[in-house]
Amino acid sequence: MNRYFGVVAYKGSAYSGFQRQSTRPSVQGEIERVLSFLIGKEISIAGAGRTDAKVHANGQTFTFDCPKTLKNDFVYKANRLLPKDIEILSIVPCDLSFHARHSSCGKRYIYRFLPFGKKVLEVDTLAQLRRDDFCYERFVEAIHVYLGEHNFQNFTTKADDVDGFIRTITKAEVNKDGEVVEVVFEGNGFMTYQVRIMVGVALKVALHQLEVEDVLAALNSPVRKILSFKAPPEGLFLDKVFYETEPGL
């Protein structure tokens, strides 16, 4: 048996998320359909993590086991059969002990949004607020609060967590690309809806509906009270999954 490590990019607009669904289209389901057809055996893949419906990826990763040795043109053949909004970037052999999720040591997420105006051609890949009361300085201040180790129990809908909801954010940056605001988060792990809630709360600060002190209070509160301010999914990208040693490098 051989194990392979893959990297895939996708536009998530047409899918219910990365994870396989029984009745709805998913990125995982499309990849498994194509791999199974080409290999001639039912193939299941393990992704590095889930992404929500309408969320995208520049570098989602997955592993799968295969009884065959894949040829050099396998990725080319797979991409010809995949929908145009999913592209496998690479597939390389890896050790049988390697796992896309369990071997990961961190992830990078990017969130892009347009505070003012509208970009019609990017409605699926850019969150568009169309607000005239957005304060960039307040937004940046709120995003920087997340840097470091915190208890994010109020920033996820995850029911329970073996690490007590403790995560370390090693990068929390805000940049401007013209009119578009881009947020970059890197950390050792992210839980269900965590990035979207973090951005959503910061947006509330930017719109003068919350204060930075409210963000600090939510991070330090011993009582769990999940915040309901999720940023729209369209602006979120899983940009990269980190490993101590990545196969093929």
Q: Which of 52, 65, 95, 132 is catalytic?
A: 52
**Phi and psi dihedrals of 204, rounded to 5?**
-60, -35
8-state DSSP, 124:
T
* Residue 146: closest CA among 125, 126, 172: 172
The CA distance from 139 to 206, in Å, is 5
Is 73 labeled as catalytic in the residue annotation? no
Asked whether the CA dihedral 49, 106, 192, 137 is positive or negative, the reply is negative
CB atoms within 10 A of CB 117: 10
Give me the active site residues, please: 52
